[in-house]
Amino acid sequence: MSKEQQTQLDAILRQGGLDTAADVASVRAAFNALMAQIPVPADVLQKPTEIGGVDGIEVTIPGNESERVILYFHGGVYVVGSAATSVPLVSDLVRRTGVNALTLDYRLAPEHPYPAAVDDARAAYEALLAQGMDPGRIVLAGESAGGGLAVAVLLAAREAGLPMPSCAFLMSPYADLTLSGETLTERQSLDPILTPQGLRVRAPEYVAGADAADPLISPIFGDLSGLPPLLIQVGAHEILLSDSLRLAARAATADVVVTLDVTPGVPHVFQGYAGLLDEAAAALDRASDFVQAQLGYLPASVHSV
């Protein structure tokens, strides 16, 4: 793995930094413009869809497995981002796993604070089950806020007596909206993307009048027993590193099968930079192995771009 790649990516991210503390309209526009610059390979098909009353995008590659699905939740601190902005990363996961995905446009704060995102994500999962899909053929996945949302959906589904999906793949999960993690300040100088100030501005917009320590908002405070196998990937240069560390510990003490995968020297949701960073491609390969193992599915071949 190249230290030069890490340094170059860090410089790019700092130069084109996103001000997450800006007003909502500005930060959304800036984030959408940034993500629109990332190309999607020509063989990746995107189809607008609706499931459980929630809009989304089906991300498919011809020849992929269609009897299994990745239900994906995008990141963006519950305030920015969309199904469309997640397509480049989702398509990379789709290509490696050989399994198609559905990325969800759950409602965003401040217009739709908690529990809107959880309600939408759970509705989509329930709709897959209502269609007759075997829960063991469903994967939940997400990055940042979407990673935290995936765990919240698992908790909500468990409390409702719904069957669990095969597993969940969480990239840099935002799992503590009380913002009590030690690395929030300890990693501040190392993180080129997120800032404590930005999170302190955005978190109340989602939490609104609720309790930020509610496990459906901050899963690190929940009882995680009964959850399916989890893969948590995180970079060592993230202010949210402690979210992943505590979430993994919480899962382990609840007797959940959990794999904590920490990559040194890389930023928040580093998997999104697979074209620039060897560590990102390697992490997605490990995630693909995990997903395929939990689904009991090994594709005949791997698609090339």
pLDDT at 16: 65
Residue 210 DSSP one-character state: S
Structure tokens at 24: 């909502």
| pLDDT tens digits along 45-86 | 999 999 999 999 999 999 897 799 999 999 999 999 999 999
Task: Determine the average pLDDT of the residues in 153-171.
Answer: 98
Enumerate the β-bridge partners of residue 58.
47, 102
List the alpha helices (DSSP H) in 141-262. Answer: 145-159, 183-186, 196-207, 241-253
| Closest residue by Cα to residue 202 from 171, 177, 219, 184 | 177
The alpha carbon of residue 181 and the mean position of all alpha carbons in its chain are separated, in whole angstroms, by 19
pLDDT band at 301 (very low <50, low <70, confident <90, very high): low
Is the per-residue pLDDT at 302 higher than 60?
Answer: no
Q: Residue 305: what pLDDT?
A: 52
Beta strand 45-51 with 54-60 is antiparallel
Share the mean pLDDT of the chain.
94
- Kind of pairing, strands 65-73 and 138-143? parallel
pTM for this predicted structure: 0.95
In this predicted model, what pLDDT tens digit does every residue of 105-150 receive, in sequence order?
999 999 999 999 999 999 999 999 999 999 999 999 999 999 999 9
Task: Using a pLDDT cut of 90, give the percent of the chain over it.
Answer: 82
pLDDT band at residue 275 under the 50/70/90 scheme: confident
Q: Give me the mean pLDDT over the 38-45 stretch.
A: 92
Sign of the CA dihedral running 94, 206, 221, 240: positive
* Tens-place pLDDT, residues 188-207: 999 888 999 999 999 999 99
Where do we find the tokens 């981002």? 81
Q: How confident is the model at residue 15 (pLDDT cuts 50, 70, 90)?
A: confident
Rounded Cα distance, 145 and 68, in Å:
24
Q: pLDDT tens digits, residue range 222-274?
A: 999 999 999 999 999 999 999 999 999 999 999 999 999 999 999 999 999 88
pLDDT, tens digit, 9 for 90 and up, residues 84-102 = 999 999 999 999 999 999 9
Tell me what pLDDT residue 66 has.
Answer: 79
The answer to whether 244 touches 260, Cβ cutoff 8 Å, is yes
Nearest Cα residue to 259 out of 271, 267, 251? 251
Backbone φ and ψ for 213, nearest 5 degrees, come out as -90, 0
Helix (H, G, I), strand (E, B) or coil at 302: coil
User: What pLDDT is stored for residue 198 in this prediction?
Assistant: 94
Picking from 1, 2, 7, the residue whose alpha carbon sits closest to that of residue 267 is 7
Query: Residue 11: what pLDDT?
Result: 80
- Residues with active-site annotation: 144, 238, 268
* pLDDT given at position 162: 98
66-79 in b/e burial notation, b at 16+ Cβ within 10 A? eebbbbbbbbbbbb
Do residues 236 and 265 lie in contact, with contact meaning Cβ atoms separated by under 8 Å? yes
Q: How far is CA 79 from CA 15, 20, 117, 134, 247, in A?
A: 23, 10, 10, 32, 22
- Domains, the chain, ranges and CATH? 3-295 (3.40.50.1820)
Q: Any idea which residue has 């690190």 for tokens?
A: 220
Query: What angle separates helix 24-36 from helix 83-97, to the nearest 10 degrees?
Result: 40
Q: List b or e across 123-159, with b for residues whose CB sees 16 or more CB atoms inside 10 angstroms.
A: bbbbbbbeeebeebbbbbbbbbbbbbbbbbbbbbbbe
Distance spanning both ends of the chain, measured CA to CA:
22
